[in-house]
């Protein structure tokens, strides 16, 4: 089982990855948590990668996921799809799109972290709250055009974990049964059927998890 966490900067991907890892381990599952290589790279070199260095970021992130033990649940704190999105935005470079989407198709569950958390500065990687919405839109666009399913996770603290588990149950209901958590009744899956407005989607999701 491979679980991918995608999302714009400062939307809680890393915190959610840690919370999911702990929860799945407590359920008796072997978990392989793959951290974001870009963060490691920026801390090592004290700068962000140039256009020519993006391919190395993509290949290393992929290699670390593929190196996971075959019997482990893989939780990837971001995937090359995010590198592809930022390459488009920063360098007008689409050369990583095909490889990123091919790798993304390997994941059984894709969670997209919503924009409801307050933006917080965190070192070299973050450009500011103004870039979150364009990044979020590009991620959704790439996933939708490739017919790759995803679920959007909202909420803060323990509620965000609960919402993530709900989304996982929607994408992989048979696998989720082993977590011994009843699935909530829902009709909605993936992005909002009527519009792309984040607030509308958030209200719809909140209503479902309360039903």
User: Strand 31-34 and strand 109-113: pairing?
Assistant: unpaired
User: Which has the closest alpha carbon to 114: 176, 203, 32?
Assistant: 203
DSSP states along 93-111: --TTHHHHHHHHTT-SEEE
Buried b / exposed e over 115-152, threshold 16 CB at 10 Å, is bbbebeeeeeeeeeeebbeebbebbbebbeeeebebbb
What are 70-82's pLDDT values in tens digits? 999 999 999 999 9
User: In whole angstroms, what is the distance from residue 79 CA to residue 57 CA?
Assistant: 10
Q: CATH number, domain at 6?
A: 3.40.50.300
Q: What percent of the chain has pLDDT over 70?
A: 80
Provide the domain limits for residue 80.
2-210
Reported as type and span, the H/E element at residue 80 is helix 80-91
The tokens for 77 are 């704190």
For the whole model, what pTM was predicted? 0.82
What are 140-191's pLDDT values in tens digits? 999 999 999 999 999 988 899 999 999 999 999 989 887 755 434 443 344 4
User: In whole angstroms, what is the distance from residue 120 CA to residue 20 CA?
Assistant: 22
Number of domains the chain contains: 1
pLDDT band at 118 (very low <50, low <70, confident <90, very high): confident
What are 93-107's pLDDT values in tens digits? 999 999 999 999 999
Q: Is the pLDDT of residue 135 over 60?
A: yes
């Amino acid at each position: 089982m491979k679980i991918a966490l995608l999302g714009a900067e400062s939307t809680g991907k890393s915190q959610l990855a840690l919370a999911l890892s702990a929860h799945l381990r407590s359920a008796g599952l072997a978990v392989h948590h793959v951290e974001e290589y870009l963060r490691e790279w920026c801390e090592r070199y004290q700068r962000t990668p140039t256009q020519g260095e993006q391919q190395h970021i993509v290949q290393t992130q992929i290699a670390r996921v593929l190196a996971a033990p075959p019997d482990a649940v893989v939780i990837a704190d971001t995937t090359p799809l995010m590198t592809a999105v930022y390459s488009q935005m920063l360098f007008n470079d689409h050369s990583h799109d095909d490889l990123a989407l091919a790798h993304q198709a390997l994941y059984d569950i894709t969670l997209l972290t919503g924009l409801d958390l307050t933006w917080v500065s965190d070192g070299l990687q973050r450009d500011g709250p103004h870039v979150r919405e364009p990044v979020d839109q590009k991620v959704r666009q790439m996933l939708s055009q490739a017919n790759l399913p995803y679920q959007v996770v909202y909420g803060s603290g323990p509620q965000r974990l609960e919402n993530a588990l709900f989304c996982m149950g929607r994408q992989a209901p048979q696998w989720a049964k082993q977590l011994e958590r009843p699935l909530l009744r829902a009709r909605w899956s993936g992005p909002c059927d009527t519009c792309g407005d984040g607030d509308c989607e958030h209200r719809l999701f909140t209503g479902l998890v309360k039903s």
